[in-house]
Amino acid sequence: MSTEGNKQIVTQFFDAFSRGDIDAAFAAMDDSATWWVPGTLPFSGIKTKAQYLQIVGTSRNGFPAGIRFEIKRLLAEGDYVAAEVESLGHHRNSKTYHNKYHFLIRLEDGKFVEVKEYMDTLHLHDLITPKA
């Protein structure tokens, strides 16, 4: 697949995710793919597609009106696409979630096979941790 084709697949993924069409979004991900998140959050580390879909399902419950992802920049080289992305959503706990991400996505034959998701993990931690 061309670098432009890979960028199109990544764009379609975030568009579908923002619409709440998780099935369409994750159709772009190979069943054997892995998704990595840094830090010590409950879902940090390397996850399979099935494990990451469970995380997505749980986290969607926190955003009754959904969450939007806006691509700010895409760069592609070979099988890799780097995506600078911002999210915006209003959590059921009344907090606004506005995070900034860098995704490094490796694709093979038009499917995600490896995703590394870098973000402000403290911002997410503060969102999901109840105040004492």
CATH number at residue 48: 3.10.450.50
Does position 26 have pLDDT exceeding 90, yes or no?
A: yes
- For residue 132, name the pLDDT band (cuts at 50, 70, 90): low
**To the nearest whole number, what is the mean pLDDT of the chain?**
93
* Phi-psi category of residue 41: left, alpha or beta, with phi > 0 → left and psi -120 to 50 → alpha: beta
Bigger pLDDT: 10 vs 43? 10
Count of the separate structural domains present in the chain: 1
pTM for the whole structure: 0.91
Q: Is the pLDDT of residue 1 over 80?
A: no
Q: Name the one residue in this structure whose structure tokens are 């793919």.
A: 33
Q: Look at residues 38, 12, 76, 10 and name the one whose alpha carbon lies nearest to residue 47.
A: 38
> How far is 24 from 43, CA to CA, in rounded Å?
22
φ, ψ (nearest 5 deg) of residue 109: 50, 40
Residue 30 backbone phi and psi in degrees, to 5: -65, 145
Indicate the burial class of 85 (C-beta count within 10 angstroms; 0-12, 13-18, 19 or more).
buried
CA distance 35 to 48: 6
Q: Which has the minimum average pLDDT: 16-25, 41-50, 61-70, 118-127?
A: 118-127
Q: Which of 43-52, 77-86, 107-116, 119-128 has the lowest mean pLDDT?
A: 119-128
| Residue 12: domain span | 3-128
